[in-house]
Amino acid sequence: METIDTIPNPDLEVIEGNKSRWAHADQRRRGFHTLHKLARYGISLRAARVMPLEKRMDLRIAELESVRKLTSLPWFSAMVVVRQRHILFERYAADFGRHRPHSIQSITKTLMNLVIGQLIEAGTVDLARRISEYIPEIGTGYADATLQQVLNMDVVNEYSEEFEDPACTYYRHEEAMGWRLPMDPERERTQRAFLLDIKSGATKNATGYAHYKDLNTDVLGWVAERASGRPLRSFLADIVDAAGLADTFFITSDREGFPTLDGGACLTARDLARYFSIFARGGAGVCGKSVGSKAFMAQTLRGGVAMPAPLEDIRYSNHLMVSGSCVGHGGWGGQYALANLDTGIVGVFLSVVENQHGVTREYIGPVIRMLESITST
């Protein structure tokens, strides 16, 4: 049979530094603004009922020096602050807008706080049980780790994600996520198959600091499926309904449809604020149905493992980043979402860091402090 000449998908082709083309600094902004179109596979969901938002702008926020500085940078995409149904502040970059979805990268991980919280409340999972009790075929990288260890990023294994290192494990994982072309098109990895191969001599973390790994989130997703008998898509549909999202919720997946829970969600800034309002409501949805656990949230505020410098004043607890009464999470390349559980105010900040590796060590701290200050009053 005659074949037709083709070329590798240029967005997903792996080039210098072992990075997909879309993830390179000069392509990253377009990549983050259109990841829902660039990834090879994905899921889209719409809410049955929408939570309306009404502008009640607080001009004091616009006058803050931190807000003026961070929203004027060329990396900036969007910032929204809400209290319940009221928008207190909203701003967008010239090349972005209110109805545009944005990759939220690792903020996606917070979905598992809600999912695992409701499963604990139902008695379906136990934080003290080992991962192998839910996934017997799991490799040594997670077999002896407890569910609590994985939730707190408190596991040691061979998985690494130092983006500056082109040989780090993350880049092989990205192939299973559908974010790059497979090295061998005839043997494309899937998420579950990839995580089965991770090994460890001992999973106990003796450093005293969180050992951050994207793959931990995917392990939690598989545990949730096994323990509940429900597909992850159904959990996500419940959360989208509970948030009352106005636009489409996109999440990338692997070839089998396993969602990229570690970083694949893409949604508008307003919808990210709607979603994070679930945490401000203690896990309750807009129609009263709970998709999280208030008790688990209280435990989250008390527990956790310190983050490494320069975020050592923040604890990683049950797949949230915790500081005082604030729960939040960051995303690779410049995103952060935060809910103050005392005031009920939610702040989200979306941006695309265009340095070589998208690393935000010196950048994300000021973003977090800005959101903490705004949401505290």
Residues in the chain: 377
Mean pLDDT of the chain: 97
- Say if strands 86-92 and 54-55 run parallel, antiparallel, or are unpaired: parallel
Rg of the chain's alpha carbons, rounded to an integer?
Answer: 20
What's the average model confidence in pLDDT over 234-262? Answer: 98
Six token digits for residue 370: 């800005």
CA distance 155 to 150: 6
Domain that holds residue 231: 53-375
- Per-residue confidence (pLDDT) for residue 1, from 0 to 100: 74
Q: Is residue 27 part of a domain?
A: no
Strand partners, 253: 259
Is 128:147 a contact under the CB 8 Å cutoff? yes
pLDDT reported for residue 361: 86
pLDDT at 171: 95
pLDDT confidence band for 109 (50 / 70 / 90): very high
Residue 36 in any domain: the answer is: no
> How far, in Å, CA of 113 to CA of 119, rounded?
10
- What is the C-alpha separation between 226 and 238, in angstroms, rounded? 18
* Residue 348 vs residues 88, 98, 292, 315, 374: alpha-carbon distances, Å: 12, 13, 20, 19, 11
Residue 24 lies in a domain: no
Kindly report the pTM of this predicted structure: 0.97
Residue 186's pLDDT is 87
> For tokens 């075929």, what's the residue?
137
Instruction: Classify residue 207: in a domain, yes or no.
Output: yes
Q: Is residue 26 part of a domain?
A: no
Q: Is residue 320 part of a domain?
A: yes
Distance CA 335, CA 107 (A): 8
Name the strand (E) or helix (H) holding 77. strand 76-83
User: Helix, strand or coil for residue 177?
Assistant: helix
- Please indicate, yes or no, if residue 20 is contained in any of the structural domains: no
Q: Would you say residue 3 has pLDDT above 90?
A: no
Interval 41-92: pLDDT, tens: 999 999 999 999 999 999 999 999 999 999 999 999 999 999 999 999 999 9
Dihedrals phi, psi of 302, to nearest 5 degrees: -90, -30
* DSSP calls for 92-128: E-TT--TT--EE-GGGGGGHHHHHHHHHHHTTS--TT
CA 123, CA 301: separation in Å to the nearest integer? Answer: 21
Question: Which CATH number is 165's domain given?
Answer: 3.40.710.10
Residue 107 lies in a domain: yes
Domain tally, the chain:
1
Per-residue DSSP letter, 152: T
In this predicted structure, what is the pLDDT of residue 89? 98
